[in-house]
A = this chain, B = another copy of it.
Amino acid sequence: MDSPVVPSGGVLTPLGVSSVRLNPGFWASLPTETIIDHCHEWIGRVGWAANFTGAPRRGREFSDSEVYKLMEAMAWTHDPRLDELTSVIAGAQEPDGYLNTKWGHARYSDLEWGHELYCYGHLIQAGVAQARASGGGELFELVKRAADHVCHMFMNGRGVCGHPEIEMALIELYRVTRAERYLEMARRFIDRRGTPALADIELGRAYFQDDVPVRKAEVFRGHVVRALYLACAVVDLAVETNDRDLLDLVERQWERTVARRTHLTGGMGSRHNGESFGEDWELPPDRAYNETCAGVASFMLSHRLLLATGNRRYADLAERTFYNVVAAGPALDGRSFFYTNPLQVRVAGEVTSGVSPRADGGLRASWRSVSCCPTNLARTFAALPAYVATGTDAGLQIHHLTAARVEHDGFAVEVDTEMPWQGAATLRVLRAPDRLRVLSLRLPTWAGGGTAEWSRVWTPGEEVSVDLRMTPRWVEPDPRIDALRGCVAVERGPLVYCAESPADQPPLTRITVDTSRAPEVVDEEIEVSACVDSAEDRPWPYGPPARTETEPIRLRLRPYHQWGNHGPATMRVWLPQG
Taking Cβ atoms with an 8 Å cutoff, the residues of A that contact B are: 202, 204, 255-256, 258-260, 262, 264, 271-273, 278-282, 284-287, 313, 344, 346-347, 357-358, 445, 475-483, 485-487, 489, 509-510, 533, 535, 537-546, 574, 576
Contacts and interface: CB of A to CB of B under 8 A. Distances in A.
A326 to B, nearest CB: 18
A288 to B, nearest CB: 11
Chain A: interface secondary structure? Answer: loop
B541 A477 contact: yes
Contacts of A271: 272, 287
B533 A476 contact: no
Contacts of A445: 540
A344 B258 contact: no
A307 B262 CA distance: 49
Contacts of A485: 485-487, 576
The 6 closest A-B CB pairs, nearest first, are A478-B541, A486-B486, A485-B486, A272-B273, A480-B509, A259-B537
Contact of A483 (B281, B357, B482): B482
A98 to B, nearest CB: 30
Given A262-B541, A279-B286, A482-B574, 12 more contacts: A272-B272, A284-B284, A344-B482, A445-B540, A475-B542, A476-B544, A477-B541, A479-B533, A480-B541, A482-B487, A485-B485, A485-B576
Contacts of A535: 478-480
Given A284-B287, A346-B282, A538 B486 contact: no
A546 B533 CA distance: 30
A3 B334 CA distance: 62
A287 B262 CA distance: 17
A101 B344 CA distance: 45
Given A260-B537, A272-B271, A346-B280, A482 B286 contact: yes
Given A284-B284, A483-B483, A537-B259, A478 B346 contact: no
A280 B199 CA distance: 39
A538 B282 contact: no
A347 B278 CA distance: 11
Nearest to A496: B542
Contact of A539 (B255, B272, B287, B545): B255
Contacts of A533: 479
Given A272-B273, A282-B286, A259 B539 contact: yes
A480 B509 CA distance: 5
28 contacts: A202-B357, A256-B537, A259-B537, A259-B539, A259-B541, A260-B537, A273-B273, A278-B287, A279-B346, A279-B347, A281-B509, A282-B286, A282-B346, A285-B482, A287-B287, A313-B539, A475-B542, A476-B545, A478-B535, A478-B542, A479-B576, A480-B510, A480-B541, A482-B509, A482-B574, A483-B483, A485-B486, A485-B487
Contacts of A287: 271, 278, 282, 284, 287
Nearest to A280: B346
Contacts of A480: 509-510, 535, 541
A367 B344 CA distance: 37
Nearest to A541: B478
A204 B357 contact: yes
A483 to B, nearest CB: 5
Contact of A475 (B255, B543, B546): B543
A485 B487 CA distance: 8
Contacts of A346: 279-282
Contacts of A258: 539-540
A271 B270 CA distance: 12
Contacts of A285: 482
Contacts of A544: 475-476
